[in-house]
Structure 1
């Protein structure tokens, strides 16, 4: 921070640059520096230069984020944000929520990285805007957009292909453009690997992902617009059962959305979205034949949102209706109806944000959540913020039906709720920034699974400190993230005072890149401290650090070669007991861009 401040002292106020635009924190566009809650942006440049194979590589050691995987590529992945449960981080794909209603979490491991353009991470509760499953935060993934409107009728096309360690092969192709008021994008991709050893002496576990993304857009002369989106990923991911039998998940992840908007007046914009998401899986045996184990999870919904703007004041209000359906070893469905409102106001150097939302499920009482956030611009570069927010997470279908698999319910499963308080301070300069946040989250009724029981943890507390900095000097760019977090089970009983499972006490991330005329070099170090894998705090997993190296070279017109070395020091580590993560891997990709 001292380096950033010293560099900023030599810069005039006129040299200050706008921070990235974000939409997830408020559902409307605002500068990241103006956000009254903590937000991390992984922009297009960062996504491309890190050359990731999985989403977890981009999220690793980001502030407040814990990642737990059952091994290597395409294996079960859980995200814990600010100490919330694995069901407390909501995944949005271009505004469409997607999750398995059996486990309550998302299939993060199946999201095709070739289609990802940008990621926004909002830390802290956002149930007052997005409803259930946002107790810890919201991660919104933005897929590739249509062609540049300034290109007119000129089409754009690109292809990428490559491979590397573990017999990995990948290829992607896309075409986009616009004609008059219409725009389009079509992208297809495939990723296939023999995988690595997930459990000792169990052999390599393969993974494949075939995906397609299609977008269509049209802007009418009166300012109205219509958009269509289809994203589908399907493939297989091998694993072994506790009895050592080889199995494979034959999965489908799909998002469909139809969105239309219009300016009802000069100050009133209205938008409606029809959407459907799928998270399906069939279990195959070692001969590729379907077993009787499967789940089909679907969510259909409509969201109506309105934005009223008047000077330095903005009001957002709307409603949602969602139908969730699940079919597997049991069949279940539920309906939710929601209304929400948000106000954003600027009073000179001060700003305020108010949120309230009511969600009515047909299974239990209406859940009302809200939040208050205040900010103050101290001077041209420094700002402070504070917020208080509440949240809830609906019980998963699995937790409500756990007795079918021999578990004992320690109580009638209740929704998880939380209250969170945060204070942050930020500095934004011409070539760098820093952001410091401290918070406390008090959880009630966290749903926890043990060896034989399922039930609510009566009370838990999470306290944390997060630091994020970034600096660009000439052709160098630097990024540093550090998190310290203390979790504690406050419920009466033998586990009172224990740390919550699978949440690391500390983590850090360093990104360094150097750009030359035709070449770029960089590295990332992502590290986590020790964590417990059980609620009794007996199974301690050691901390670790992973080094990833990268390089790119524009070797000919429209051609680029990219080389990455993942886990360059061949570190052995586990994020879940008994599951091994991939060792050193080397990957080479060629990219061609036409027009």
Structure 2
């Protein structure tokens, strides 16, 4: 399922003149490069500048507060991170790195907590079903991470960071390539002594199941290599490699281990051909490797470290895609994907490999003020046979700039190897989970208040920013859950999720302001007396984030307020996790055009909260960063 479009990516600055700035180009939503304003889907683009403005130290920092996203983490840095997109399960999110599908075929999720944020150039998040283009897993949506690409003048970068919890890190890189080529080489290292991950109890059904009150550290080492060349307008290629080596401590036992070592590696290449001006061919291949090993060590008892478990996933992907421009405002895309999963483990799986072939097509057309997108896909999987999915969306732009779109899509999720074959749990006859989703979106420009508009006379035609609201509903059938009667996985449950996402961004009084609110009703529809109508676990019904930043010459300052409502940790809704509010402050000073100093104070009020029962989150912490990043003119 590998693909990559090496199109120029343009950022948009939310400012008073934003209507004349080119919007970002999105490649994830429909597998072709298109302006964000033409995409009939809910998308969020996070650029490198946004990551550095937030002074984010992990992907959880970056993703927290994105509309429609809820995160739950079993401890601090380096501990398992679950991402719920629009209230769907954590394994209902497809994760791509530079077009290559990544993740564990045994767990069914991607180890986002181990991806080094220093190697990320851009993130595109598409909310809503995308199986009609990508196949399995994209019930909730797609998160695609693009690594640093390079290009232009030879440029070195360096950053050094440190702070509370004995956290320290460094990242170095060099990039360039001139006008027709691009390359980037960068590396990072991060260490932290961490927090006590879990306030466990002896019961195996409470948190981590043990009482091991110590600090659980984390180490991450990442390397990114990427290069490409455009020989002429008709031929270009791109190659990339990302590797992340990690070691984390957690509260565990001799049975489950208390230390983990993990490696993620993604390598891929894409060749882009244009035989004619109206015809583009993408041929890509990728390989991802996910390995997790757990150990147990107890120095106090004189127990040496020994191997407990090993889980390893290898994924090979091939893709051929043709895009034909029928007219200036109409495009047709057809393609085929091949995916082969292989697992190796100290656990004996009845089957350890499977392959999938997917045929897909999509049509995009503009008819005056009306946009139309239709896509469909047929997947043939070695385990579950054939499965068809589709998506249709129509949008209309009014003369005043307000845009309305309506879409319907189906999606599915193939059972993971654990669901099918894990000893004393898996059920080989499981069916794929299936979903149906409706979505209504409306967006437009935010007018300036009368006193701020040009001339001071209430010229509301001048925009201060933009706003968007999206109402959606998703029904999921054949949900895979644990069946207590048979002590195994089964297709017993269903879910209905209603939601509303609202976002706004504007520049007023020299302040860059951003706001997002997500309201969810993630309802369990299981035919079980104590579960039907309950909230799905670990998903709050309300989340809110407010951001404000301002520049003062060489200084800049900002604040983020994040709030989440109550949630439950179990399907019976008996274990309640209280809502919480976090305030983060940040400041930055430019010593020169190339050297900046940053400081960030997290959880200002030292809020004590949990996103997973009995698993702790960091209290008040402060971090510092010195960054050297010259621009092309320096």
C-alpha separation in 2, matches of 1:464 and 1:380: 27
Q: Which residue among 543, 546, 551 is the counterpart of 2:582?
A: 546
Question: Does the C-alpha gap of structure 1 residues 271 and 244 become closer, same or farther in structure 2, counting only changes over 3 Å?
Answer: closer
C-alpha separation in 2, matches of 1:457 and 1:143: 39
C-alpha separation in 2, matches of 1:81 and 1:298: 25
1:401, CA displacement in angstroms? 2.2
Identify the residue that residue 184 of structure 1 maps to in structure 2.
183
Identify the residue that residue 272 of structure 1 maps to in structure 2.
283
1:19, CA displacement in angstroms? 2.9
CA displacement 1:275-330 (0-9 Å, x = unmatched): 01111111122267341301111100101111111210011110011110111112
Do the aligned residues in 2 keep the contact of 1:349 with 1:376 (CA within 8 Å)? Answer: yes
1:43, CA displacement in angstroms? 2.4
Matches within 5 A, 1:396-415: 396-402=416-422, 404=423, 406-407=424-425, 412-415=429-432
Identify the residue that residue 4 of structure 1 maps to in structure 2.
none
Matches within 5 A, 1:55-74: 55-74=59-78
Question: Does the C-alpha gap of structure 1 residues 527 and 22 become closer, same or farther in structure 2, counting only changes over 3 Å?
Answer: same
CA displacement 1:337-363 (0-9 Å, x = unmatched): 111001000000001000101111111
Q: Which residue among 368, 383, 388 is the counterpart of 1:368?
A: 388
Do the aligned residues in 1 keep the contact of 2:258 with 2:296 (CA within 8 Å)? Answer: yes
1:180, CA displacement in angstroms? 6.2
Identify the residue that residue 324 of structure 2 maps to in structure 1.
308
Matched, 1:292 2:308: yes
Gapped runs of 5+ residues in structure 1? 1-7, 149-153
Identify the residue that residue 100 of structure 1 maps to in structure 2.
104
Identify the residue that residue 446 of structure 1 maps to in structure 2.
479
User: Scaled by the length of structure 2, what TM-score is found?
Assistant: 0.88
Matched, 1:126 2:130: yes
Matched, 1:462 2:482: no
C-alpha separation in 1, matches of 2:113 and 2:622: 20
Matches within 5 A, 1:172-251: 172-179=171-178, 181-200=180-199, 202-221=213-232, 223-241=234-252, 247-251=258-262
Question: Does the C-alpha gap of structure 1 residues 475 and 145 become closer, same or farther in structure 2, counting only changes over 3 Å?
Answer: farther
C-alpha separation in 2, matches of 1:449 and 1:44: 40
Do the aligned residues in 2 keep the contact of 1:202 with 1:244 (CA within 8 Å)? Answer: no
C-alpha separation in 1, matches of 2:180 and 2:371: 37
1:474, CA displacement in angstroms? 5.4
Identify the residue that residue 532 of structure 2 maps to in structure 1.
496
C-alpha separation in 2, matches of 1:372 and 1:251: 40
Matches within 5 A, 1:148-163: 148=152, 154-163=153-162
Q: How well do the aligned residues superpose, as a CA RMSD in angstroms? A: 2.0
Do the aligned residues in 2 keep the contact of 1:468 with 1:482 (CA within 8 Å)? Answer: yes
CA displacement 1:8-33 (0-9 Å, x = unmatched): 9x989x95444322221111222222
1:473, CA displacement in angstroms? 2.8
Identify the residue that residue 460 of structure 2 maps to in structure 1.
none
C-alpha separation in 2, matches of 1:271 and 1:258: 10
C-alpha separation in 2, matches of 1:285 and 1:108: 23
Identify the residue that residue 586 of structure 1 maps to in structure 2.
622
C-alpha separation in 1, matches of 2:415 and 2:407: 26
1:235, CA displacement in angstroms? 1.8
- Count, aligned residues: 578
Do the aligned residues in 2 keep the contact of 1:305 with 1:317 (CA within 8 Å)? Answer: yes
Q: Which residue among 354, 360, 367 is the counterpart of 2:374?
A: 354
C-alpha separation in 1, matches of 2:162 and 2:483: 40
Q: Which residue among 35, 42, 46 is the counterpart of 1:42?
A: 46
Do the aligned residues in 1 keep the contact of 2:149 with 2:182 (CA within 8 Å)? Answer: no
Question: Does the C-alpha gap of structure 1 residues 270 and 563 become closer, same or farther in structure 2, counting only changes over 3 Å?
Answer: same
Q: Which residue among 23, 42, 59 is the counterpart of 1:19?
A: 23
Question: Does the C-alpha gap of structure 1 residues 138 and 369 become closer, same or farther in structure 2, counting only changes over 3 Å?
Answer: same
1:519, CA displacement in angstroms? 1.1
Identify the residue that residue 151 of structure 2 maps to in structure 1.
147
Gapped runs of 5+ residues in structure 2? 1-13, 200-211, 447-462
Three-state SS of the structure 2 residue aligned to 1:295 is strand
